Amino acid sequence: MRRTSLYDWHVAAGARLIEFGGWEMPVQYAGILDEHRAVRERAGLFDLSHMGELWVDGPEAGAALAYALVTDPPRLGVGRAHYAMITGEDGGIIDDLIVYRTGDTRFLVVPNAGNREAVTAALGERVKGFDATLDDASLATALVAVQGPRAADILAPLTDIDLGSLRYYAIARGLAAGIPALVARTGYTGEDGFELFVAWDAAPAVWDALMAAGAAAGLVPVGLGARDTLRLEAGMPLYGNDLDRATNPFEAGLGRVVKLDKPADFVGRAALERIAAEGPRRRLAGLVVRGRGIARHGYPVYYPGDDEPCGVITSGTVSPTLGVPIALAFLPPDEVEPGTILECGIRDARVAAEVVPLPFYQRPT
Amino acid sequence: MEVRDGLRYSDDHEWLRLEGDVGVIGITAYAADQLGDIVFVEMPAVGATLTLHQAFGVVESVKAVSDLYAPVGGAVVAVNEALAGRPELVNSDPYGDGWMVKLRVSDTAEVDALKDADAYRELIRAG
């Protein structure tokens, strides 16, 4: 199992560690609920160094990515980012990604830790024939995120980047705690916040500086447990739970990400055009369980009274913010209207569950 | 993690305190800590009869679900109703307000077969 450059810090802080995507990562420090609330109310600090960082470089880097992904990266302005997916020829999702354009001919692609090798392999194949190179910098790049309503206040004194002009889904190069960094206004929590890409060995210095700068604001370290409850409240899918190779973007409710109108041919276009025309056979939807118990990944969903499941839970938790059990589920496309009442099989019991609009939680603006 | 002297312990990380012929049962501080923040506790109905090692309920944290197994057999005479609204009591006071059920013990030999505090400390030290 791999360890990040912050591993010793996590151990010293008493974190509980788990295996995740081939990495030994903190799942919690003080506790998932406390960490979750800290991010919603103040700020949290995350070690995300397990995530991948793949650079695509060259005169045809944009064109190569337009062929490789479902999005249209050449349309990104320099310093901007978007959410993207890489699919197979059948339209099945290999991974979901963030693509940052850091220069005219330079793009940073961030895959999930567990998919880094699959994405690197697929991208490597797909950039062949373009005047572009692929470089997997994952093991040389650390990623630290500060997320929450106080994130900007905490980071601002430590950086020469003007955070006020750094928009959501923008990225800028500068210094953070005196260390060269790429600072992006992106995240996976539903809050305002920043992700800082720095050299692998520089992460502890950046982390310590942020912890010190954030102490007065109530910044706490946050593990993968609260990262999961935060992203689920925000209605963001997690690869491996809600998305996988057998799922296409339209089923996942992410059809808007697929740019069928882009000029370039791209891997998966034929299949995705067909799915877009026919409509998906199932849809990812939000459920609130109107009873006791958490509807977890793999639990069945039924029409009330039916014996055969009509759907399946892909992610579930108790929402720390809302105080009720929430879940994402694949449902028949006709049953995703908010207000629809279904049943979830939670161990031996049938518990009523209501379809609700996503996201479950939206930060106050 | 606190292991309280004077209680009896099962290999499934439940504790039992004998009050006359009634056994008060909960999960240990170690078990509660391993589970993390507990958000639901499912318990049997008062009057139900449990046999030794029978699954009688479920304790659910944000990350995990865990069955509760009867450390001894007996009839359920009370369940801790407070846990329906405040499941976090299992984390904050596992040997006190976080108790789960009271059983009228059918065979005291089953109580004698449980571990004492030192033996349970040895069990969790061994992991």
Confidence bin at A292 (pLDDT 50/70/90): confident
Share of chain A above pLDDT 90, in %: 98
Between helix A61-68 and helix A116-127 the angle, nearest 10°, is 120
Give A33-72 pLDDT, tens digit per residue: 999 999 999 999 999 999 999 999 999 999 999 999 999 9
Instruction: Parse chain B into domains and list their residue ranges.
Output: 8-120
Task: Single out the residue of A163, A56, A53, A167 nearest to residue A104, CA to CA.
Answer: A56
A116 and A229 part of one domain? no
Q: Average pLDDT for residues A88-110, to the nearest whole number?
A: 98
Mean pLDDT, residues A187-216 taken together:
98
Residues A205 and A320 placed together within one structural domain of the fold: no
> Dihedral through CA A199, CA A205, CA A208, CA A214, nearest 10?
-70
pLDDT at A285 over 90: yes
Closest CA to A224 of A81, A44, A357, A40: A44
Instruction: Using an 8 Å CB-CB cutoff, list chain A residues near B58.
Output: 293, 347
Asked whether residue A365 is domain-assigned, the answer is no
Do the chains contact at A32 and B42, CB–CB below 8 Å?
no
Question: Could you tell me if A97 and A202 lie in one domain?
Answer: no
- Same domain flag for A34 and A147: yes
Residue A347 pLDDT grade (very low, low, confident, very high; cuts 50, 70, 90): confident
The predicted complex's ipTM stands at 0.85
Q: What is the CA radius of gyration of chain A?
A: 20
Q: Hey, CA dihedral for A91, A95, A96, A99, is it positive or negative?
A: negative
Q: Residue A192 maps to which CATH number?
A: 3.30.1360.120
Q: Is the bond into A157 cis (omega within 30 degrees of 0)? A: no
Per-residue model confidence (pLDDT) at position A264: 87
Is A80 a domain residue?
yes
Q: pLDDT > 70: what percent of chain B?
A: 100
Strands A300-302 and A341-346, how do they pair?
antiparallel
A307 and A159, same structural domain? Answer: no
Q: Which domain holds residue A222?
A: 7-49+139-233
**CATH fold of B8-120:** OB fold (Dihydrolipoamide Acetyltransferase, E2P) (2.40.50)
Nearest Cβ partner of A317 from B42, B58, B62? Answer: B62
Split into its structural domains, chain A has a count of 3
Each of the 127 residues of chain B gets a pLDDT tens digit; together they read 899 999 999 999 999 999 999 999 999 999 999 999 999 999 999 999 999 999 999 999 998 899 999 999 999 999 999 999 999 999 999 999 999 999 999 999 999 999 999 999 999 998 7
CATH of the domain at A332: 2.40.30.110
**A147 in any annotated domain:** yes
* Cα(A235)–Cα(A338) distance, integer angstroms: 15
* In a shared domain, residues A122 and A173: no
Work out the pLDDT band at A272, boundaries 50, 70, 90.
very high
**DSSP strand E in chain A: where?**
16-20, 23-28, 44-47, 54-57, 81-87, 93-103, 106-110, 133-136, 141-147, 171-176, 179-184, 193-199, 220-221, 283-289, 300-302, 311-318, 325-331, 341-346, 349-356
* A300 plus A183 within the same structural domain: no
CA–CA gap between residue A142 and residue A123 (Å, rounded): 21
Question: Do A150 and A219 lie in a common domain?
Answer: yes
Residues of B within 8 A of A347 (CB-CB) are 58, 65
Residue A365 confidence (pLDDT) above 90: no
Length of chain B counted residue by residue = 127
Judgement on whether residues A221 and A147 belong to the same structural domain of the protein: yes
